[in-house]
Amino acid sequence: MMEEIEKLKPELLSAIEKADTLTVLDEIRVSALGKNGRITALMKTLGSLAPEERKTAGQVLNVFKTEIATALDAKKEALETEALNAKLAEESVDVTLSCRPETAVGRIHPIAQVIEETLTIFAQMGFDLAEGPDIEDDWHNFEALNIPPAHPARQMQATFFFPGGSLLRTQTSGVQIRTMEKKQPPIKIVCPGRTYRRDYDATHTPMFHQIEGLVIDEKTNLANLKTVLVEFFKLFFETDDVQVRFRPSYFPFTEPSYEMDLGGAMARNIGKEWLELLGCGMVDPRVLKNCGIDPDKYQGFAFGIGLDRLAMMKYGIKDLRPMFEADMKWIKHYGFLPLDEPTVTSGLSMNGGRK
Ligand code: DAH
């Protein structure tokens, strides 16, 4: 028995030591301690020994059995830890790795960019943001703006009508009315937005964008209008070389009315002396009256600028139509990465008023 143990012990311990998988280790455990295992077999022989001998052999065998069982447990734990570590190493995420190159980064549309830049500038000049609906009624789009039903000025703007009389607004000027109906002067607002007319060529699309400006107070005058516009264009085109020219024109809601041309660096850039840019004038007293504002006490100016035109000029875009065709190649070329956004934000936003 003793000899047997002396022989078995180094054999088993070295096999346990060498076992490199849990399966191999388990085979060793079965071969030693299992039902037909070698230590179990030795235990079975105890019964045939003389009582004295059985006692000592029994003790030695128990110690041996415990030693092997302990060695098996220790090795099992070591192998399990090893396996866990290997798994962790394999599955761990290296958070210091740089991210995968992004292939589809969204771009900011030049119109959205121009609206943001424009609002930023007007916000710095103290203008508030006003908004109105794209689907307008006849009163706000025409009548209150001094364009009664049979007025020839209606033909200046080919209108999309809905059955029932509402329409897609042809101009943002209706927001002047909505603002003045709600609030007495002082008023100083801008309103950017979509406008619609039945037009389609390189410089006209059925949907386009305007920004409307309105300033009403007791002494607001044409010189103020000129200052606001000159300052705006200096900041927008980032040049001090800005000249403006006011040509007498006609709009039913302003008197006197003007179209403003821009000269200087921007016009020269595209080989012109003057660029026709916007309509403006002093708000017609009748329009003030239509909104419940006393024309003997208050006066003011208004202007309407085509935003698509501004985007085309600032960013060298020649044809207006692709702007609204959702062409990925076009937006990749003319769009802005979010990082190109102006760092100063206006505090005004198109959806939902002040940010
Ligand atoms: N609403 C005019 C248009 O769409 C532009 C315009 C002209 C707006 C004069 C104004 C203005 O506010 O005073 O053609």
What pTM did the predictor assign?
0.69
| Nearest to 300, CA basis, from 229, 215, 228, 224 | 215
164 CA from centroid of ligand 1 (Å): 26
% pLDDT > 70, the chain: 94
Instruction: Yes or no: say if 122 and 345 are a contact pair by the CB < 8 Å rule.
Output: no
The widest CA-to-CA distance across the chain, in whole angstroms, is 133
pLDDT, tens digit (0-9, with 9 covering 90-100), for 95-111 = 888 877 766 778 899 99
Closest ligand 1 atom, CA of 283? 13
The pLDDT of residue 339 is 66
Q: What is the pLDDT of residue 235?
A: 96
**From the alpha carbon of 176, which atom of ligand 1 is closest?**
12
Are 57 and 6 in contact, with CB atoms under 8 Å apart? no
Task: Say how far apart CA 301 and CA 248 lie, in whole Å.
Answer: 15
Contact 77, 85 (CB under 8 A): no
- CB contact at 8 A, 272 and 243: no
Cis peptide before 252 (omega within 30 of 0): no
Report the separation in Å between the CA atom of 285 and the middle of ligand 1, taken as the mean of its atom positions.
16
Bridge partner residues of 260 (DSSP): 246, 278
Ligand 1 residue neighbourhood (C-beta within 6 Å): 171, 173, 212, 251, 254, 279-281, 302-304
How does pLDDT run across 239-270, given as a tens digit for each residue? 999 999 999 999 999 999 999 999 888 888 77
* Pocket probe mutation, ligand 1, options 180, 253, 260, 307, max atoms within 8 Å of Cβ: 253
Query: pLDDT digits over 55-74, tens only?
Result: 888 898 899 999 999 999 99
Q: With a cut of 50, which residues of the chain have pLDDT below it?
A: 341-347, 350-355
